[in-house]
Amino acid sequence: MFLDKIEGSPTLELVNLVLNKQAKGERVLSLAIGEPSFNTPKEIVEEAYRAMLSGDVHYTSSYGTFEVREAIVRKVKRKNGINAEIKNTIFITTKLAVYAAMMAVHQAHYEILLPNPGYFYSEPAILSGATPVYYNLKEDFSLDLDEIKSKITQRTKAIVVNSPSNPTGKVYTKRELEQLYEICSENGIYIISDEAYEDLVYDTQHFSIGSLEKEPMFVISLFSLSKSYAMTGWRAGYIIANERIINLVNKLLENTLTCFPPFIQHASAYALDHGDKFIQIFRDELRKRRKLMMEKIEEIRQFSATMPDGAFYVFPRYKTRIKSFELAHKILEKAGVATLPGSSFGSAGEGHLRLSYASSEETIIEAMDKIKKFFLEF
């Protein structure tokens, strides 16, 4: 069957492994999962609760309610500099948005360029009918524009960029993205811009490539509320794109999910309009955890890493001659610490581990001390 060819999510596979160990009474510390330790702010939760009590529990348009779509427009104009209208918006969870965007640009025998290392975009690409083609990044994980140009063919329909990056934490500069836009617009290539970590930037500025257009044309911008407002379980996000793409994505939702829960849409609108104060609190705390994580990495002589610009991941290279998948499993079995192997993020991720500093400071300290002890005994 077709789905037999699709790989499962490496992150969720590890989550299941950790949960099985915990069910057996084993203690596991996790530096693997991309989820903040914070709970959703009480004000946002209360908005959802009030909406449910008031009867906001029925079907909505597959595009999303006007309330949340208007809030999306206000937010992207205010924070991203994107000149969008309601017709350019649709409410959708971001992981599904990746697949939906790829489906919307679908043509027979087409190719999508994906970053290497990069997030798990290959399976959605295959599901959409595309052939994934990987472009390598520079040694510092910045965009290699010459590499990208060399990968473009007549079959290239889209390229995925992710800034801030999962797994590297790299934030692309305005100049890099301007040059990328020029390349893609000249070749008629869509840019699928995954900006899930847009608010978690520490020492530089996030730039939305969609702001380069007077109105959405080639750029399909994907946004999430999961990381910005600690709403991972709410599955809330949205797409900004030209009207044709939005209408195609809506067809997918009409024939699958129908719509997202209206009370979640209401709470999301509140977060987009009033949530900047929460973002600042989360970002300040994550900045401290990033510093702590880098200090602990420096204590482990087998690791070398550069300070990430954003998100909440460090992607250290290790010196041990062992495959990253095997190393991650040995660390889990011997040290009781969950990490993600770099190879999960593509061939260029081999020789790395992804470590998340979204966990509490106590977890980071104990987990990194256990990893240090593991290497001393390895």
Q: CB of 259 within 8 A of CB of 60?
A: yes
Q: Render pLDDT for 78-104 as a digit per residue (tens, 0 to 9).
A: 999 999 999 999 999 989 999 999 999
* pTM for the model: 0.95
Within its chain, how far is the Cα of 303 from the centroid?
A: 24
The counts of H helices and E strands in the chain are: 12, 14
Residues 6+ apart with CB under 8 A from 374: 330, 331, 334, 335, 337
Among 91, 102, 93, 99, which residue's Cα sits nearest to residue 63? 91
- Is there a cis peptide before residue 316, judged by omega within 30 degrees of 0? no
pLDDT at position 11 is 65
pLDDT at position 376 is 94
pLDDT at position 15 is 72
Q: CB of 131 within 8 A of CB of 165?
A: no
- Range list for CATH 3.90.1150.10 in the chain: 2-40+277-377
What is the token pair recorded at 249? Answer: 């994505």
The number of C-alpha atoms within 13 Å of 205 and in the hemisphere containing its C-beta is 9
Superfamily covering domain 2-40+277-377: Aspartate Aminotransferase, domain 1 (3.90.1150.10)
Q: Find where tokens 């965007």 sit.
A: 101
- The pLDDT profile of the chain, 378 residues, written as one tens digit per residue, is 566 667 777 666 777 777 788 788 889 999 998 889 999 999 999 999 999 999 999 999 999 999 999 999 999 999 999 999 999 999 999 899 999 999 999 888 899 999 999 999 999 999 999 999 999 999 999 999 999 999 999 999 999 999 999 999 999 999 999 999 999 999 999 999 999 999 999 999 999 999 999 999 999 999 999 999 999 999 999 999 999 999 999 999 999 999 999 999 999 999 999 999 999 999 999 999 999 999 999 999 999 999 999 999 999 999 989 999 999 999 999 999 999 999 999 999 999 999 999 999 999 999 999 999 999 998
Task: Assign 163 to helix, strand or coil.
Answer: coil
* 361-377 vs 276-298: helix crossing angle, rounded to 10: 20
Q: Which CATH number fits domain 58-275: 3.40.640.10, 3.30.70.3340, 3.30.300.210, 3.90.76.10?
A: 3.40.640.10
d(CA 54, CA 49): 9
- Range list for CATH 3.40.640.10 in the chain: 58-275
